[in-house]
Amino acid sequence: MTDLKAELVSRSLALGFDVCRVARCAAPPHAGEFGLWLAEGNAGEMTWLERTSERRVDPQKVLPGARSVVVLATNYWQGEAGNSSGAGGKIARYALGDDYHELIEGRLRALDGWLAENGGTQKCYVDTGPVLERDFAALAGAGWHGKSTVLISEELGTWFFLSEILTTLELPADEPARDRCGSCTRCIAACPTGAIDAPHHLDARRCISYLTIELKGSIPVELRPLIGDRIFGCDDCLTACPWNRFARASRETAFAAREAARMPLVELLGLTDEEFRRLFRKSPVKRLKRRGLLRNVCVALGNTGTPEDVPALERAARDPEPMIKEHAQWALGRIAERQTTALRSAICFPAQ
Q: Which residues are catalytic?
A: 127
Please name every residue paired with 24 in a beta bridge, in sequence order, or none if there are none: 68
